[in-house]
């Protein structure tokens, strides 16, 4: 049976600026993105994983195009994940999970907005799939910079796959956008690229020349094409490649920092 890799990563871009101090404290929820077989899924409320009761849940959409089938009897609240040999059956209303022999399992599926989300670890263990996760917490970094009197900006997603930087006036002014990603609200001013000194750029993978594998939307390549400041990727173990396949519109970062 084919194994699929599940890579979950936090999406974040921190722009470090110079200027007046800001204050404020808030606790942000993690933002997870999902890659299946090294291809990033489009970011939306239908694909973003979430934690509930200490369990990480993933969208049923990640199984589209794989060897796992999904059968959903919506009016009965029943969902089945299956392959040619085995299956798991989820009773959404009763919060039960069992196989075709009637054996029950600890865990259940959740429906949100018409999309079914499955408990990742249980499903992968049952069907013999591989998955991994990576976490980056940028909130302490943002707060530390604000406490030192630095101006900090975060990206704001615009229509037509655009992106701009807005200053973080306070952490409690970050609100989820349509993808569920916290970003500065409308009271936070836009920051021209020319005022930005350093940009910390996210990635799934990066090579030694600074070329990144992103999430397929091209937001950062378009934003970076005329960015005059310094760009950095912080690369975690296992995410550094010798040479990344690249296209003419890819924009490399100027520095790759490798965590050890």
Phi and psi torsions of 258, nearest 5°: -110, 120
Phi and psi torsions of 211, nearest 5°: -80, 135
Could you tell me what percentage of the chain is helix, strand and coil, using 3-state DSSP and rounding each to the nearest 5?
Answer: 15, 35, 50
Per-residue pLDDT averaged across 96-116, rounded? 92
Tell me, what's the pLDDT at 215?
66
Lowest mean pLDDT among 16-20, 92-96, 189-193, 217-221: 16-20
Lowest mean pLDDT among 23-27, 99-103, 135-139, 247-251: 23-27
Q: Six-digit token pair at 182? A: 């916290």
- The number of beta carbons lying within 10 Å of the beta carbon of residue 148 is 9
5 or 249, greater pLDDT: 249
| Domains of the chain, start order | 6-30+135-258 (3.40.50.10420), 50-133 (3.30.457.10)
Q: Are 138 and 12 in contact (CB under 8 A)?
A: yes
Tell me, what's the pLDDT at 182?
80
For residue 93, pLDDT beyond 90? yes
Calculate the CA dihedral of residues 158, 235, 199, 10 and round it to 10 degrees: 30
Give pTM, 2 decimals: 0.50
Q: What is the DSSP letter of 104?
A: B
Burial call 46-79: b when 16+ CB within 10 Å, e when fewer = ebbbbeeeebbbbbbbbbeeeebeeebeeeeebb
pLDDT, tens digit (0-9, with 9 covering 90-100), for 217-239:
778 888 899 999 999 888 877 78
87 or 213, greater pLDDT: 87
pLDDT, tens digit (0-9, with 9 covering 90-100), for 21-49:
333 223 333 445 455 554 545 556 677 77
Tell me, what's the pLDDT at 164?
92
């Amino acid at each position: 049976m084919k194994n699929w890799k599940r890579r979950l990563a936090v999406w974040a871009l921190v722009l470090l600026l110079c200027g007046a101090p800001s204050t404020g404290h808030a606790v942000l929820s993690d933002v997870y993105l999902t890659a299946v077989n090294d291809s990033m899924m489009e970011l939306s409320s239908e694909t973003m994983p979430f934690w509930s009761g200490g369990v990480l849940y993933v969208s049923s959409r990640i199984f589209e195009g794989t060897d796992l089938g999904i059968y959903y009897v919506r009016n009965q609240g029943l969902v089945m994940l299956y392959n040619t040999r085995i299956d798991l059956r989820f009773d959404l209303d009763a919060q039960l999970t069992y196989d075709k022999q009637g054996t029950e399992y600890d865990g259940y599926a959740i429906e949100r907005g018409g999309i079914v989300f499955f408990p990742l670890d249980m499903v992968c263990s049952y069907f013999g799939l591989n998955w991994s996760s990576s976490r980056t917490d940028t909130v302490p970094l943002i707060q530390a910079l604000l406490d030192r009197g630095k101006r900090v900006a975060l990206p704001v997603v615009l229509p037509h796959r655009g992106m701009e930087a807005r200053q973080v006036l306070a952490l409690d002014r970050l609100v989820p956008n349509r993808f569920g990603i916290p970003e500065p609200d409308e009271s936070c001013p836009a920051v021209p690229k020319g005022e930005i000194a350093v940009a910390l750029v996210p990635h799934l993978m990066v090579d030694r020349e600074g070329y990144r594998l992103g999430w397929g939307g091209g937001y950062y390549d378009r934003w970076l094409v005329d960015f005059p400041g310094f760009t950095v990727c912080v690369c975690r173990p296992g995410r550094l490649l010798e040479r990344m396949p690249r296209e003419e519109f890819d924009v490399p970062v100027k520095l790759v920092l490798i965590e050890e």
